[in-house]
Amino acid sequence: MSMTDPIADLLCRIHNAHTAKHDRMEFPTSNVKLEICRILTEQGYIEGFERVEDDEPVKKSARVFLKYNHEGQPAIRKLKRISKPGRRVYCSTEDLKPVLNGLGIGIISTSVGLLTDQEAREKRVGGEVLCEVW
């Protein structure tokens, strides 16, 4: 069965795992999903991630280790998919605004790879706005 929006599936799985208070979750992997996890790790929204070795080479998966504060609240309060398969959203450098006045991050797909909105503004590149996290 093919998936229409694999990035939205990843974001939904992370949200559902946080809601159920899991400490980790697994998902089918791709290069874009791994880059999103790398950005979330660098920005402190998740503890980390790792690829899961499986006997079947067709089933590639990865594991995300979720992060909570000392009160048990998730580090990620909201995951919002911006650009969707039915409506792509592109922004130039001038149009990239900080998410929640800098309290969150936007993940942008650019010609130099996946970047946060701040990195895209610093490198002066625009691209497709994949999602916002805060």
* Alpha carbon distance 74, 18 (integer Å): 6
Average pLDDT over residues 62-88: 96
User: Distance between CA 127 and CA 119 in Å, rounded?
Assistant: 12
Q: What is the pTM of this model?
A: 0.92
How far is 128 from 7, CA to CA, in rounded Å? 13
Query: What domains are there in the chain, each with its CATH number?
Result: 6-66 (3.30.1370.30), 79-133 (3.30.1490.10)
Q: CA 92, 79, 82, 8 torsion: positive or negative?
A: positive
> In this structure, are residues 66 and 22 in contact, taking their beta carbons and an 8 Å threshold?
yes
Per-residue pLDDT at 2:
61
Burial per residue of 87-123, b for 16 or more beta-carbon CB atoms within 10 angstroms, e otherwise: eeeebeeeebeebeeeebbbbbbeeeebbbbbbbbee
Which of 10-24, 55-69, 91-105 has the lowest average pLDDT? 55-69
